[in-house]
Structure 1
Amino acid sequence: MVGWGLVVVSIVVIVVYGYILFMTPYWVQLLQLTAMIAVLGVFGILAWIGYTLATTPPPKPIEEIEKEIEEELKKLEQEKSGTPS
């Protein structure tokens, strides 16, 4: 049902957009508005990606991760063998 609703809404928007673009004197404003929305969308997403890259901490070096894994494996082996640390 939602899918058919989207189809109908999309067709209505296409028809209304085409009518305003070709049959009314408002086509210049419509093109300006459409261009502005497109620019805001593209550069808004680009700004969001840049912000995410700038504020995300760098990952741990692989050597540090390997060291942590080795320590955990040693703990598990000690627990399995029953040897106190």
Structure 2
Amino acid sequence: MVSKDQAIGWVIFLVCAVVIIGYIVTLFGYTEIIQPYLDLGDVVAKDIQFWLVAAPVLIAFVAVLAIGAWIGWTMGTTPPPRPIEEIESESTTK
């Protein structure tokens, strides 16, 4: 029997593996594999492939900028450290 953490790990692994396979199949085999079963009207395979690349790039770009903004906010709102002389004088007076 696996623990709860291991079960969650396996679920995460399986979901990621299915998404990876679906992404690759949709990106490279849309016209041969998916389009015959899924009628999207005027949507062209190139449009699907473009958004399959553009969406993760946009998400990654926004995530990197959000992390940079968070680091900048943290640096901007953190008070400066006390000078070393002040810390040393406190330790010598004790």
* TM class by smaller structure: 0.7 to 0.9
Match of 1:30 among 52, 55, 65: 52
Q: Which runs of 4+ in 1 moved over 3 A?
A: none
Identity among equivalent pairs (%): 43
TM-score by length of 2: 0.70
Partner of 1:8: 14
Partner of residue 39, structure 1: 61
> Which structure's relative contact order is higher, taking Cα pairs within 8 Å and 6+ residues apart?
2
Question: Which runs of 5 or more structure 2 residues have no equivalent in the other structure?
Answer: 1-6, 31-44
Deviations 1:36-80 (A, max 9, x none): 001001111111111111111110001101111223x2xxxxxxx
Gaps of 5+ in 1: 74-85
1:23 Cα shift?
2.2
Q: Residue 56 of structure 1 aligns with which residue?
A: 78
CA distance in 2 between counterparts of 1:54 and 1:7 reads 38
Q: TM-score, normalised by structure 1?
A: 0.76
Structure 1 distance, partners of 2:69, 2:26, is 32
